[in-house]
Every structure is written in C-alpha cells, then in structure tokens.
Chains A and B, each alone.
Chain A
Amino acid sequence: MTEPGLPHLLFIGAALFFIGVFGFLTRRNLITMLMSVELVLNSVCINFVAFNRYLWQERLDGVFITIFIIAIAAAEAAVAIAIIIHLYRSHRTIDVGAAEDMKH
C-alpha cells in the first residue's frame, strides 16, 4: 500500500467541499448550514496545507493562510451565531425559509 500522496489529500478536500456545498444548499436549519460552511472552509484549509507540504516545503505560506482561515472562521461563526440568535428572537425559528426578508 502506497503512502497517501497529494491526490488523496486533494480528493478529501474536494469531497469535503462538495459535502459542505451540498449541505449549505439543502439544509433548512441555519446551524446545520453554518456547519456546512465550516466544512467548506476546512476543505480549503486541507488544500492549502497539502499544497504547502508537497509543492513548497521550504515555505510556510499555506500553513499561515490556514491558521488565518481558522481564526476568521471562528470570528465568522461568532457573527453567524449572533445573527441566528437574533433571527430566532424575532422569528422564533432558525429555519432559513423564514428569513426571506432580505428581498425587501
């Protein structure tokens, strides 16, 4: 059995990405959608780390970006949850269908 190489990691990244997108587009629950977004972000992180590891081992750009993304994701999650809580307060639900007010 060969050692896992770049293609495997990229495959995992792509799979995670599409699972995330699928989840984001189909779930009605905002928390689940948030989780899906996290999956998408993490798939990107995997890609960065993988490329960094296999293509530019002498540099750390990919790793830095990944750490950066994790930090942003944390912040973003905080904001998103705040919005969700507000939505719950005003609409008594966290179903995304209830949040159609954006069209106005």
Chain B
Amino acid sequence: MPDTTYLYLIPFLPLAGFACLGLFGRRFPGQTSGWLATACIAVSAAMALSTAFGYFSDWGREGGGYASLQPIDVPWLVFTEELAIHLGVLLDPISVMMICIVTFVSLMVHVYSLGYLKGADRLPTYFAFLGLFTFSMLGLVMSSNLFQMYICWELVGVSSFLLIGFYFSSPAAVAASKKAFIVTRFADLGFLIGILILGEGADSYDFLTIIERLTATMDPNYAAVMAPTFLGFSVIGWGLGLVFIGGMGKSAMFPLHIWLPDAMEGPTPVSALIHAATMVVAGVFLVARLFPVYAVSVPELLSWVTLIGVFSALFAAVIACTQTDIKRVLAYSTMSQIGFMMFALGVSGYGGEAGLGYMASQFHLFTHALFKALLFLCAGAVIHAVHSNELKDMGGLRHRLPVTHACFLIACLAIAGLPPLAGFFSKEEILLAAYQRNHTVFYLALATSGLTAFYMFRLYFNIFWGQGGATGHHGHGEGGGFMMVPLVILSMGAIGAGFVPFGQFVTSDRLPLETHLHLGFSIAPVALGLAGIGLAALLYRKPSPLPGQIASRLGAVYETVYDRFYVDELYQFVTKQVVFRCIGAPAAWVDRHVVNGLVDFTGNTALKLSETVKGLQSGRVQQYALVFLCGLLLLGLLLMYIF
C-alpha cells in the first residue's frame, strides 16, 4: 500500500480555501475568489479520483474483496481511556466512492457558480461557504470515528444553513435557513444520544471497533448491548434507532422532511450540491456505514428503515406531482429518490446475495448524485434565463436553451429509469432487491417509479414545450461556457454511470457481487415509466385545460396534496402553540413572577421589617432615657435573681 497520508489534503484544501476567502476574500478583485476556490477543489477532486483508482484497482484489494484501511487516526479529544474522539480517515469502498462523488459534484458546482453568480454581491463569501461545506462533507464521508462523523454532520448542517441564508435580505431565505438547521438539529439530538449509547456499548467510538465488537456474538460487549432495556428494546436497538433518526433528519425522511423544500431558497448551485447530491444522502451513508451492526444485531430495525423509506418515496412523489415551483418539484423528487436508497438498505441483508439491496442503494446514491445535480444545474440555467422559479413563467424554452434542454431531457430519462441511462440500472437493482424480500414494498416502489416518470416529464414539458410564459423573453439566453460545461460533463455521467460494474466494487461485505439484469423483470418498471412519460406528454406537451380540470375534479384531495398534506402547518402548530405558548411563555412568567418574585418578596419583607423596627429610633431623648432606665432596671433584677 502506498503512502496515503496525503489523504488529509483532500478535505483540507477546500478548508484552506474557506479560511483564505473568509479572511481575505474581500481584498480579491472580481472573480479571483471563485477561481481560487475552484482550483482548491479541482486539486482535491484529482486526488480523490486517483485515490479511488488506486484503491479499486490496486492497493485496496484484499483477499478477493476490498480492505478497510485507516491510514490516518489522530486523537482530538480524549474523554476516558476507551472513549475518545479521533480524527481520521477510513478508506473502504463506500467512503472512496463518496469522496469521488463529493469532490466531483462540488467541482462541477464551483465551475457552474463561476458563471451563475457572475458579478453577484458577496462572491468570496459564497465560495468560502462552498469550501466549508465541501470540507465538512468530505470529513463526514471519510470519518473513522462516530464522533468525527457527528462533528462533520453538524458542520455540513451549518454550512447548509449559511448557504440557504446566503440571500440574507430575503425573509423567506432566513426562515428557510433557520428551519433547515433547527429541524436537522432536532434529529441530531437523536444521533447524539445514539452515539452515547453505542459508544458505551462498544467502549469505543471507532467505526471499525464498533462494528467488530457489536457484530461478534462471542464478544462480551455484544451480550451486554443485546440485553433488553427500556420498553423491551435492546440497548443497541435504541442506539441504532436514535442514530437512524439523525439520518432521517439529514436525509429528509418523513416526518422530518419539511426543511428540504424550503431549503430551495438558497442559490440553485447550492441546492444541486448540498440538497440533492451530497449532504442529503448523509443519512443513507450513515446507515450504510453502520450497516453490519444494523443487519446482524437488530434486523427488525431495518424493517422500520424500509417502512420510512418507502413511505417517504411515495409521499414525496405524490406531492411532487402538484408543485409548481420547479426547485420544489426537484426537492420532493430528491426526497423520493432518497427514500428509494433508504428502503433498499432496509430490505438488504448482510453479505453475499442477500446484500443486493445494500449495493443497489449505494449504486443509486452514486447515479442519483450525477443526474440530480444535473437536473438542478439545468433548473438553475432555466431560472437564470427567465428569472422565476414558477412553471407558469416558463414554457417553450427548448429553442432558446438547446443545450440545457438536451441535458435536462437526459437527466429526466435517467431519473425515470429508462434504459440505457444511469437511473435504469440502479433502480432495477433496487426493485429487484425489494422484490426478493417484500412484495408490498416492491409494488409501492414500482408505483413510485411510475409517478417519478410522470412528474419529471410534467416538469420537462412545462418548461421546454408548450407556450412561452408570462414574462417576456428579454434577452437572456443560456449562460456562458462556465455553466454549460458542467451540464455536458454531468449528462455524460448520467448516460454512462449505469455501466459501471458497481457490484464488483461496493457491497455490504466488501466482496464482489455478481449482478444480473433480468430482462423480464425490467419490463414492468420500464413500461410504467413510459406510461408516466406518455401521460405527462398528453397533459402538458401542449397547453390544455385538462390538468386544471383534473385538479378541480379532485377538489379537496388535490388541495391537500398541493398543501403538502399540511405537515408544515402541524409543525407550525407544535412550535408556536406548544413550545412557545405552553412551555416558553409559562416558564418566562414563572421566572419573573415566582422565582424572581420570591427574591423581591424577601427583599421587600426585609424592608418592611426595618420600617417597623425603625419606629423605635424616634429621636426623642426622653424616650431613649426611659427605655434605658427600664433596661437598666430589668438587668438589675435579672442579676439579682441569678446571683
């Protein structure tokens, strides 16, 4: 194995970019800051790709599969002899894959941003935040320690917060950024407690050690954590369940998804990077990272993962069919696709053929990152051209934006799962894995996949076909080369990524898995996908009153879906009415009137008492003399009686 200590440079270059731009960014003229950031990330990406190449082709091999290597491991904060936060790098197939995705998509987004935000205000700040995000995300995927992952987890959260709120003058952006941070923070609470439980159970926060100790039935730690505890679940069940809640928050799984659509208030390239390709899959990555423990110790928890995944997938797909803001449609689509990855993990077993779901999930993560980033960047190009997010302002753009149009079409076909594009292969594997384990899940997933094709093409036809939108065609064509090049590169990825023999590289037990495409099995999903596209073409290719009629026919159902099943309103109610009015306000009242009142009462009582006693101090000499004499007399009598 070659010297891999250089690996720390992969995350630290973007961090250096962040520090440099954050401190001196304002002094840089024009686009320099953007170039600097892009250069940093380009070097990182090159190193990541070469690492991946070396790992998968050469030094990562071990006994027919791939090794888990830990080339860097530095103690950062030592709590006790066993428990310590280490910062390190863990190389195994999923982390190597993730560093490639993160650096690559980040590079694309950096290049794209050079064109998209040209001449914008606060450019250095923007690129600095992007660098911070990239650093944190790379740190997250390379984590060798559960606590390190939590650290990076929080840091990606805060970079997401900063980038969503980049347009800080807009109240909507501020609200969205706060919402994103607070909702994920709430989930992180679960993650944190889960970490505490797992750390105590395994006497370590190191991933490899945790996996080793908590999956070996002979290990003393294993027996201890399997003991039933609160509500009859095992210790480890609680730990992993709470960790999964953290993953649900970050990956926008129902019911913690409400922040993701609002997060679209951020600049579009940011949505592509953070809220489509990388950060939101952190939850999937987290489950995948601890997958052996899930699969071996608490398989029943995986059925919850399946349930939440498949429900979120369907739920989001239904909502996506009604939304009119293109970024929101894409956001729900992201949520839906992550649901796919999640339930694929849920239906997977550990090792061998049973691990198909795991491999499919990671495969889908990989392809999804490419085509979803592409979709967002295309959406950015469209928004750049028409200055609106609303579908009604668009239409007939295929002539004005030919490149964008082609790329968007490729991405839509990929996400709809049509062969031979990337999404087809990964989605087939997921469906197959579901079919092998659980038929109900399979049918729900199939339906969702049909819906996906429908809403994506609804978007496509509405944007590029039909008639021009209300806002006139004033000048803006496609952005320059900076915006087009990433689109073209990503669309090549969206076309070709499916041919990667993914099962050779990334599997649950790190041993190669032969995957076969069953042509007969593919007929149903592809046919459903085509049907969805056909329906969308029918309804939206030409302006037609039909969609409106269907919507009004559905009446309340449509309203409910359009209003996103009122989940946001429910949260509003809980925060405003319960937290603020029923907890915060009474607590504040109690503090002012009871606790502080008690203090004031003590003070006032002392004052009153002194008022009373003060009367004795009348200033009348004769009264004093009288008291004095009486006292003397009493004293005399007292002395006489005692002695």
Contacts and interface: CB of A to CB of B under 8 A. Distances in A.
Interface of A: 21, 24-26, 33, 96-97, 99-104
Contacts of A101: 619
B620 A96 contact: yes
Contacts of B617: 103
Contacts of A103: 617-619
Contact of B620 (A21, A24, A26, A97): A97
5 contacts: A21-B629, A24-B625, A33-B621, A97-B620, A104-B619
Contacts of B629: 21
A21 B618 CA distance: 20
B549 interface: no
Interface string B306-344: 000000000000000000000000000000000000000
A63 B626 CA distance: 30
A24 B622 contact: yes
Contacts of A33: 621-622
B520 to A, nearest CB: 107
B615 to A, nearest CB: 10
A60 B625 CA distance: 32
A104 B619 CA distance: 8
A25 B619 contact: no
Nearest to A101: B619
Interface in B613-643: 617-622, 625-626, 629
A100 B626 contact: no
Contact of B618 (A24, A25, A26, A100): A100
Given A21-B629, A25-B626, A96 B621 contact: yes
Nearest to A100: B619
A1 B620 CA distance: 47
A101 B617 CA distance: 10
B620 A25 contact: no
Nearest to A28: B622
B619 A102 contact: yes
B624 to A, nearest CB: 8
A23 to B, nearest CB: 10
A29 B500 CA distance: 118
Contacts of B621: 33, 96, 99, 102
A99 B625 contact: no
A54 B625 CA distance: 32
A104 B620 CA distance: 12
A25 B623 CA distance: 8
A18 B629 CA distance: 11
A21 B630 CA distance: 12
Contacts of B619: 99-104
A98 to B, nearest CB: 10
A100 B620 contact: yes
B631 to A, nearest CB: 14
Given A24-B625, A33-B622, 9 more contacts: A25-B625, A96-B621, A99-B619, A100-B620, A102-B619, A102-B621, A103-B618, A103-B619, A104-B619
A86 B516 CA distance: 119
Interface in B591-621: 617-621
Nearest to B624: A102
A24 B624 CA distance: 11
